[in-house]
Amino acid sequence: MLTIDPDDILHEEHATVLDIGCGSGRHLTAVLARPGARVIGLDLCRDDLKKAAERICIHEAFGWEVSGRWLLAQANGCFLPVATKAVDAVILSEVLEHVPDDAGLLQEVNRVLKPGGFLGVSVPRFFPEWICWRLSRAYRTTPGGHIRIYPRKRLLSLLRQAGFQPFGCSYAHSLHVPFWWLKCLVGIEKDNHPLVQIYNRFLTWDMMQKPRLTTWLERLLNPVLGKSLVVYCRK
């Protein structure tokens, strides 16, 4: 499940890409399919980094497209262990809403990104996220969770202040919105609730099979109900 499209931030071969908050590596593996790409994945969670490494190794073992080189490291995005003007593109997917100093993080991204480099950012969209906050106190108070909601104008202003020029906005994952509303209604910790399990199986099937009907339906609903706001920028 990709939120940020690598094609919108990679405009040359042999690019060096930094994925901040890479999680289990869903964007890493997509970038590694590009010819000669070099990817650095950073995350605070060691377990997620292990999952990312396992994901890449599985792709390599089965001969799936992994043509680039990769490196994973445990690091804080506000103190990037990367040289100044060293990377061609940065992925920042579903990270800013977790970070107390979001402006400081974006300044670090500006520092490591080459002039003219590209940044792909995604955050939870205001309306679906606002509903989650109203439905469940636990959703917004769980340690490590979301600490703010970004209106579109606020995010664009924050990016411009950090030295980036937005050139494209879109929305993604509308079919995931009912799942999170449902979890907030029954309790975010109740993964074994029958309705949650049924909808989770549906989402898994949809992501794996990519049927035309649900692909078309999600594209239709994304502008009005997309869970993620995606912004593409250039330094």
C-alpha–C-alpha distance, residues 212 and 218, integer Å: 10
| Angstrom distance (rounded) from CA 136 to CA 2 | 26
- Token reading at 181: 């509303």
pLDDT in tens, 91-100: 999 999 999 9
CATH number for domain 6-234, candidates 3.40.50.150, 2.40.100.10, 3.40.50.2300, 3.40.50.720: 3.40.50.150
Domain ranges of the chain: 6-234
pLDDT of 64 over the 60 cut: no
Give pLDDT, residue 11.
Answer: 85
Q: Is the pLDDT score of 202 beyond 70?
A: yes
Burial class for 55, CB neighbours closer than 10 Å (0-12, 13-18, 19+): middle
- Token couple for 108: 């670090």
* pLDDT of 52 higher than 70: yes
pLDDT for 120-173, tens place per residue?
999 999 999 999 999 999 998 888 889 999 999 999 999 999 999 999 999 999
Cα distance between residue 231 and residue 208, in whole Å = 25
pLDDT level of residue 48 (50, 70, 90 thresholds): very high
pLDDT band at 36 (very low <50, low <70, confident <90, very high): confident
